[in-house]
Amino acid sequence: MTRVALIAHDEKKPDLLEFARAHEAQLRAYDLIATGTTGKRLMEGTDLEVERKESGPLGGDLMIGSEIAEGKLDGVVFLRDPLRAQPHEPDISALLRICDVHDTALATNLASAEFLIEGLAE
Ligand SMILES: O=C(CO)COP(=O)(O)O
């Protein structure tokens, strides 16, 4: 089954929620995982079932990165906040890096997330 990670920094959570609602029918067919707070928001704001990892600053990005290293994920939508420094920046870099290591589809903004979701549907 297609397995997708959804992650957003606080300022981008409304965008991710809107994205998830717009693609809810498609996403419902997938295994979804998310960092802690993002997953909570998604489950509150949609009818999607989401497996929640730890919150990003507490290791959630790394937990998702480990799934990529294990070859379990087909895509990652990670709406980062490009305007604010994050305390767990090394974890964020590690997640982006491991996506490249394993050639896992990664979208870090809404425009590319639209392409990713279209690509997964094919
Ligand atoms: O910080 C995050 C990703 O780096 C997201 O974590 P939360 O979903 O727990 O807010």
Choice from 41, 55, 58, 93 to test ligand 1 binding pocket (greatest atom count within 8 A of CB): 55
List, for residues 22-68, the tens digit of each pLDDT value: 999 999 999 999 999 999 999 999 999 999 999 999 999 999 999 99
Domains of the chain from N-terminus onward: 3-121 (3.40.50.1380)
pTM of the entire structure?
0.97
Residue 51 sits at φ, ψ, to 5 deg, of -80, 120
List, for residues 80-120, the tens digit of each pLDDT value: 999 999 999 999 999 999 999 999 999 999 999 999 999 99
CA dist., res. 100 & res. 97, Å (int): 5
- The structure tokens listed for 118 are 């279209």
Per the annotation, does 23 bind a ligand? no
- CA of 62 from ligand 1 middle (Å) equals 11
Whose C-alpha lies nearest to ligand 1, atom 6? Answer: 56
Q: Which residue spans within 13-104 are E strands per DSSP?
A: 31-34, 51-52, 75-79
- The structure tokens listed for 16 are 């991710």
What angle do helix axes 89-101 and 60-69 make, rounded to 10 degrees? 10
Whose C-alpha lies nearest to ligand 1, atom 10? Answer: 37
